[in-house]
Amino acid sequence: MRCWLVEEILRKVVNQSKNVFVEAEISCSSGEALVFEKKKLLYPQIFDGDSLTVRVTFPDGRAGVSSTSHINHAINCLNEAKKFAKVSVPDKQFQCLPIIKKSNKLVKLFDNNVKDYTAEDLWNDANAMISFSEEKGVNVQMLSSSKSVGKTFFMNSEGCAFNEEIHIVSGGISVVKNKFSGDEAQVFTRKPDFLSIAENAVSNCLSSQNPVKIKSGSTPMILCYDAFNSLSESVLFNAVNGYSVFKKKSFLAGKLGEHVFSDKLTIIDNPVLDYGLGSRIYDSEGALSVKKTLISKGVVTDFLQDNYTNLVRGEGTNGNCSSINSRPSISPSNLVVKKGSISYEDMLSQAEGALLVKEIGGAHMINAISGDFSNEATKAFIVKNGDLVPVKNVMIAGNFFELLNDLELVGNDYKQKSAIMAPTLLFSKVQAVA
């Protein structure tokens, strides 16, 4: 859909009503994907869709939201949102929409290698992954590759308007040999490297052959990216969520300014990171997104907030609204664990006998408030003379926040597959249950 037509629809919506606050967002998505099972193409997929979301808020805080996939029915969507708002409960905490601030910063969201990536490229790279895997003597179980384009247009009744376009290429593969599997998935905003996906999956598979049993007990632990991402995502997101802090449902409630974690830990929410998967200039309600240091050398320094939470808490900054479908609605952009100076190889040389965990299962069972966890390490190894020996049937148990206090070494590598960007991390102890 042409940009001028989308903007005209939004302008009609926000200018239709007086004495109410109106926010409207149109999202347009399109792309193509290939899905393979055991080297056979199951189906090619082409997707294309638009959606309109309108939120109406009365001065007394009553709010209503309506959405439709028929964006030409914008006024009907607006009227539905008004109906919901009229019957909702007043909210004394609501005062106004975000103050309009303009940004002069340009953030690179994708490069031309991704923008110009074609369906033919998807096919060629998928088959290259299959060929590489076969050469290494493993069997391909599943494989997928996709290219997607997302466009967002936003406007509100206070004069805020912006649009954003993002191009993403992604791929994943699962391989197996002797009943031991290896999986890998990556998302690209810069030049796609599908061969690295296959290489990592094959390496994970082959390195898992002939696992040994270990004894239960306390042990140092190295968490690679995928394991840390699974273990930390729900816990960390809740801990730094300003509204969870306000409602005292966060471990960090009442701890602003306190030294809580290892002084080797610094966490930054950086929405203006070039090529970050969560990078943006404005958040979902039009507030300017700003870089925030949440943990500085173990000290709690800030929290994530949307406009509503900023009004409720009366401190901090907004810029982390994730959706106008509900209020509050908070999420990080790029949650960056600041990297250290030690290489992966040097970390291994200093961690003799440590448990190295690449993947964990059951992440949904981690207690997001307390941080308690007990999870299977589905891809784990023991560090022996700088090499990795695979282990089987091992679980790790402990508390995520205590783990962050036991952080000893921070790697100089970086990965990002979700909102979290993190290096390899060495912790002094965790309970391993064989």
Q: What is the pLDDT of residue 17?
A: 79
Q: How far apart are CA 223 and CA 373, in angstroms?
A: 14
User: Given this model, what pLDDT does residue 37 score?
Assistant: 95
User: pTM score, two decimals?
Assistant: 0.95
Angle (CA) 148-290-400 rounded to 5° is 80
Give me the pLDDT at residue 90, please.
96
With tokens 């103050």, the residue in question is 99
The dotted CATH code for 3-11+21-199 is 3.30.2290.10
Q: Report the pLDDT averaged over residues 104-132.
A: 95
Please give the helix or strand (H or E) that residue 234 lies within, else none: helix 225-239
Q: Which residue has the tokens 């100089």?
A: 412
Any idea which residue has 């296959």 for tokens?
A: 198
Q: Please say if the pLDDT value at position 2 is more than 70.
A: no
Contact 423/411 with Cβ under 8 angstroms? yes
pLDDT, residue 3, reads 66
**Cβ atoms of 328 and 195 closer than 8 Å:** no
- pLDDT tens for 44-94 read 999 999 999 999 999 999 999 999 999 989 999 999 999 999 999 999 999
Residue 5 has pLDDT above 80, yes or no: no
pLDDT in tens, 28-53: 999 999 999 998 999 899 999 999 99
Low-confidence winner among 41-45, 79-83, 116-120, 265-269 (lowest mean pLDDT): 41-45
Average pLDDT over residues 189-212: 97
pLDDT at residue number 107: 95
Q: What is the pLDDT of residue 7?
A: 84
CA distance 259 to 277: 30
Q: Output the pLDDT for position 317.
A: 79
Q: Where in the chain is the domain with CATH 3.30.2290.10?
A: 3-11+21-199
pLDDT of residue 103: 81
Average pLDDT, whole number, for the chain?
Answer: 95
Which among 282, 245, 273 is positioned nearest to 421, based on CA atoms? Answer: 273
Sign of CA dihedral 296, 402, 419, 347: positive
Which pLDDT score is estimated for 15? 86
Mean pLDDT of 294-319: 92
Q: For residues 75 and 428, what is the distance between their CA atoms, to the nearest angstrom? A: 59
Position 1 pLDDT exceeds 80? no
Backbone angles phi, psi at 149, to 5 degrees: -130, 130
- CA gap 421, 415 in Å, rounded: 6
Amino acid making up residue 190: R
